[in-house]
Structure 1
């Protein structure tokens, strides 16, 4: 699923929430390792962003997750919803399709720097 993000989103994590039927569990499979994650270049003197080695997907509650979307031009994360907590570690053949897989791909253009827009520095 492709999800557009505002170019003006700060480098803060984004929270997502899943609503699932009773009895089903949300499995956070983390970032997609085979996806080409790209950073926004935030190198001006007024703003320094910490560059993460890999995108982060942290569970905050049973149904809420914090994703490091704000630090990236594009990033991707995988979640599986099923009846077991082991969905991320099983192949589709092993569980006979016993889970739904969601690949969330966030993308944006990076905000222009203050000098590029002639905006006053802060």
Structure 2
């Protein structure tokens, strides 16, 4: 689903403000509308309030009620069409850690990687 301005919407879930801001800038530069959350609870509230989120881009290590892997599984169960991208600079992902169709991007990621991965997930607007 696309936003009112016709761009696919990405929800970035990152507890570190600087990383969230940097990631949001890269995602926006890649042609997406960005919505930001500082933890899984904020992300779930946003997902419950909006029907236009196309991709959830979550850090794996976060404080709060659930980490990024649990959030990814929750999103896959509750909103199956939403694409999932997880990132971490400290955690290594193995097969089965992410739900089906989940993608892992290690930190530090580049704007080119963001554009490529998100562009392939979003498909046509």
TM-score normalised to structure 1 length: 0.22
Identify, as 1 or 2, the structure richer in helix: 2
TM-score normalised to structure 2 length: 0.22
Identify, as 1 or 2, the structure richer in strand: 1
Higher relative contact order (CA 8 A, sep 6+): 1
